[in-house]
Amino acid sequence: MGKKHQPKADNLLAQNKKARHDYNILETYEAGIALTGTEIKSVRAGKVTLRDGFARVRNNEAWLENVHISPYKEGNQFNEDPLRNRKLLLHKREIKKLLAAAMQQGHTIVPLRMYLKHGYAKVLIGVAEGKKNYDKRETLKRKDQQRDIQRALKDRY
């Protein structure tokens, strides 16, 4: 299993809540992301959408695809394509683990969060396994029960 990485709430720039609903996350990895100057400014402003994104390993390099980073307002001709593929910065052994995990049937690599760490943009990616519809309903039911329990305990104490 990969390490559990939890960024501080104030550094969180974007979160993919749909990923935890649609997938079981098996392991997570923290990756740097190669961005241009106007892209990092847009990321710092929180103009990122991770919802439909995924990662792919090609030629022993990890790439983040289909993640939308809005063009920077003052960027002019220096703005890049909002949906361009961006290189993920990982160690070789992590890339090999990701490749092995993604080759298994039904597994994919999805971005979970984007945040700042020591001034650098980081992406928390997870190796995920797709959920069936009945699993999604079971998860929602369990979540509602936990919320009811917490509400009852709060009223009690």
Residues 104-141 pLDDT 10s = 888 889 999 999 998 889 999 999 888 888 778 888 89
Answer whether 47's CB lies under 8 Å from 69's CB.
yes
Q: Read off the DSSP letter of residue 124.
A: E
Answer whether 71's CB lies under 8 Å from 39's CB.
no
Give residue 74's domain range: 9-131
| Residue 150 lies inside a defined structural domain of this protein | no
| Other Cβ atoms within 10 Å of 43 Cβ, number | 21
| Residue 155 lies inside a defined structural domain of this protein | no
DSSP for 41-70, written as a single string = HHHHTT-EE-TT-EEEEETTEEEEES-EEP
Domain of residue 18, CATH code: 2.40.280.10
Q: How confident is the model at residue 96 (pLDDT cuts 50, 70, 90)?
A: very high
| Residue 147 lies inside a defined structural domain of this protein | no
Q: What is the pLDDT of residue 156?
A: 76
| Residue 154 lies inside a defined structural domain of this protein | no
| Residue 142 lies inside a defined structural domain of this protein | no
| Residue 81 lies inside a defined structural domain of this protein | yes
Q: How confident is the model at residue 155 (pLDDT cuts 50, 70, 90)?
A: confident
